[in-house]
Structure 1
Amino acid sequence: MSYYIEELNDVNSADWKRLCEEREDGSFFHTLQWKQILEQSYGFKTHCFLLYRNDEPVALCPFYEGTISRIRGLISLPNSDYNHIIITDENDPLIAYHILEKCKEIAKENKLFFILITTLSELTKEHFSKYNPLPYPIGGDMTLDLEECSPDKIWKEKLSKTHRKYIKRFDNDGFIIKEINSMEDIKKFYKYYKKNIEFKKANPYVFSHFEDLLNIYSSEEMKLTLLYKDELVAGGQLAFLYDSRKTMYLRYLSLNRDLPARYHPTLYLYWDCIKRASEMGYNKVCFGRTPPYPNDVHYKVKDRFGCHYENEFSLIFSSSYLFKISYNIYYNIYNYMQKYVHNKSMDE
């Protein structure tokens, strides 16, 4: 069999789009429009390529230069809820070999210290594992299958009486939720998105990122909602829509942290998105990246709505002996801190 690699270009972009739309593991984050966001909003340098076997594309490889603790490396789909490569034939171990060889070449040419590859396939992980990767923390997404869990079933069987009361409280108290597209409303959304992220001691995206999203995506590809009563904003949700896979992706949550404790806007916003997705004929809602610990507070909230955990498998390969030594120290500290943080959340 003949294998060869082509860097993504205007000619083979049709193959990229076809794989993304036809494959079960294709996602919104593998599209060429998201590539534009990663380059324009985040400033990532792109190294996307396709692997062909006998003139047919067998792997979609979206790689970018990114960092781990300020050390530069080659990463599959950074800053994305789904960051895996797409392989059409899991049974062919040579696909993993050719992908890794190309990544090593890119890393060498660009003086990168590591290669981080993610896959959803356990068999593909085994193929890559033959090349001695370093350990990497477990990760994944929480997703809701609307064909298994309809909104009616979620309301009656998944949500407790208390959670239903929290959701109905917003309607009973006169709050309304609407789709927004005016710059004034988007600034309100961003205000509480920024405060929510800062409350969690993280770094929010700059407002220009949301302007880029509005310029690139239509109302059929992205929904922005705001939950409010008169001048009081409770929160909002930005969701991406990927019609090819009938999937809604919940991406940015805006929350007013100064609301009285009787209000729980996250529950209402999630519930509204589930109903919207169902009404649109979608069969899946992705609630985003989530720590893999059932006792984690974020895991618990999503689990209440009937979500299940989708594991991903990440493998990191060192391009530098110095990185290999320092990474092992970093990994041990990271694992310890993550267990401490998520065990702590059990009592909250």
Structure 2
Amino acid sequence: MQVEELTNEEEWEHFVATSQDGTFYHSLKWKRILEDVFGLATEYIVIRDSEGRVAGICPLALTRGGKLFNIIASLPHSDFGGPIFREGVESEAASALRGYLIWNRRLHSVAYARIRCSSRDTVNYLDTRGAKVDASMGTMNLDLLETSLDDLWNHVYNRQTRQRTKIRRVERDGFQSIVADKITDLKIFYQLYHHNMTHIGASPHSWSFFQKVWDLLYPEYFNVILIANGHHCIGGQAFFIYPPRKAIYKAYIGIDRNASTRYQLYFYLSWSLLKWAESQDLHRISFGGTPANAQSVNYTQKRQLGAIFHQDYIMYIPIDMKQFLLRQSLRWAGLKLRPLLPEKLKRRLYPAVHGL
């Protein structure tokens, strides 16, 4: 197997679009976001067999882990990423990628590689001495070809969990979903998004981030749905679209916290997105990163919408062992300290620990 950097963009896009594990985030559209919006250096890797055919790909970006270490990641700022291997050559392609990561990254003073794996098999293929695996997260997904809107409404949504009541309450008060068609709609969404992120103690993306994403990807690969009654808007969601796989990826949400005391806006936003997806002949819906804990609110809400949990694995491959062991010590200390802190400090500590 031979490992090389991306040279043929059309070949890359075709491989992603025709692969079972291919996502919007593997496409070169996200590469452009990483470079032009986040300002990251990227390295997109192609693995070829002895006949020159693509045996696998792995999108990578040079970034920081917890603001302390230089790391190579696949992929930052997303709930997806990692290598995709051609069926039948997974082990050989993974071995070639692992060797490339360990050998090549030492030249850039990188502490470790952080690779998202969509299966346990991929973890096993990439395993190496000292590697660590985090199985605390996955994604929740729904395929409308397997469970139609009618099936959801009539069989999944029930009186006990009251999904239909939560959706109808919003509509009874005159609100409806509106698909963005101008930059002012994005501005309305951003105000709700910024307010919501600030309310929960998280760091929002800047307005310029959304402007650039809009300019680069709207409307084919990015859009926004708002919940409004006239000029009164109480919620919105931004999402990415990947037409080759007929897929949608929920990414950012904005909620009027005053309205959220009356409405369960997450359910109406999600239902609106499902209806829009069906109207656009899109059937794969990702509800994003989710804790691997069926008791968590995040998990429960998505499950009530009909989504199915898919276990992901984050693999940490040491490259500079001394730095990697320091990373392990800091992460362990952060996880031990976090439960003892007040809620606001917990929220501030989480990104630092999670980013390691």
> What residue is the counterpart of 2:193 in the other structure?
193
State the partner residue of 1:47.
43
Check if 1:245 corresponds to 2:253: no
Q: Show the counterpart of 1:207.
A: 207
Q: Does the CA-based 8 Å contact 2:106-2:320 persist in structure 1?
A: no
Q: Which amino acid aligns with 1:83?
A: G
Q: Which one of 63, 67, 79 corresponds to residue 66 of structure 1?
A: 63
CA distance in 2, matches of 1:265, 1:246: 25
- Give the distance between the partners of 1:99 and 1:25, measured in 2 at CA: 17
Question: Counterpart of 2:214 in structure 1: which amino acid?
Answer: L
Between the two proteins, the alignment pairs up a number of residues equal to 338
How much has 1:245 moved relative to structure 2?
0.9
State the Cα distance separating 1:281 from its structure 2 match.
Answer: 2.3
Cα deviations by residue, 1:62-106 (Å, 9 ceiling, x for unpaired): 011122211220111111121121111355423222112221233
Whole-angstrom distance in 1 between the partners of 2:26 and 2:249: 13
- CA drift of 1:171 comes to 1.2
Could you tell me whether the CA contact under 8 Å between 2:130 and 2:318 is conserved in 1? no
2:125 equivalent among 109, 127, 138: 127
Partner in structure 1 of residue 139 of structure 2: 141
* Aligned-partner residue type, residue 160 of structure 1: N
How far apart, CA to CA, are the structure 1 residues paired with 2:258 and 2:165? 20
SS in 1 for 2:134: coil
Shift of 1:216: 1.3
Deviation per CA, 1:159-199, whole angstroms, max 9, x where unpaired? 23332112111111111221113222211110110111112
Distance 2:338 2:49 in 1: 41
What is the rounded CA distance, in whole Å, between the counterparts of 2:180 and 2:132 in structure 1?
A: 45
Consecutive unaligned residues of structure 2, counting only runs of 5 or more, are 342-356
Query: How many Å apart are 1:308 and its aligned residue?
Result: 0.8
Q: Is the 8 A contact 1:62 1:76 kept in 2?
A: yes
Maintained 8 Å contact 1:137/1:335: no
Matched, 1:34 2:37: no
Q: Which residue of 1 aligns with 2:20?
A: 24
Structure 2 distance, partners of 1:186, 1:154, is 30
Task: Please identify runs of 4+ aligned residues in structure 1 that moved more than 4 A.
Answer: 333-341
2: CA distance, partners of 1:303 / 1:197: 23
Pair 1:293-2:290 in alignment: no
AA paired with 1:27? T
Stretches of structure 1 lacking an aligned partner (at least 5 in a row):
342-348
Change beyond 3 A, Cα 1:339–1:94: farther
Cα distance in 1 for partners of 2:127, 2:137 equals: 17
> For 2:175 and 2:90, how far apart are their aligned partners in 1?
55
1:136/1:331 contact within 8 Å kept: no
- CA deviations on 1:107-145 (whole Å, 9 max, x unpaired) are 212111111122213222112124441233432110012
Given that 2:75 and 2:115 are in contact with CA atoms closer than 8 Å, whether structure 1 keeps it comes out as: no
Question: Aligned runs of 1:169-180 on 2, under 5 Å?
Answer: 169-180=169-180
The CA RMSD measured in Å over matched residues stands at: 2.2
2:83 counterpart letter in structure 1: I
Give the CA deviation at 1:47.
Answer: 1.4
Q: Using a 3 Å threshold, how does the CA distance of structure 1 residues 208 and 51 change in structure 2: closer, same or farther?
A: same
Counterpart AA for 2:46: L
Distance 2:295 2:116 in 1: 25
Deviations 1:228-259 (A, max 9, x none): 12332111111222121111111111111121
In structure 2, relative to structure 1, the CA distance for the partners of 1:151 and 1:325 (3 Å cut) is same
Letter in 2 for 1:45: A
Q: How big is the shift at 1:309?
A: 0.9
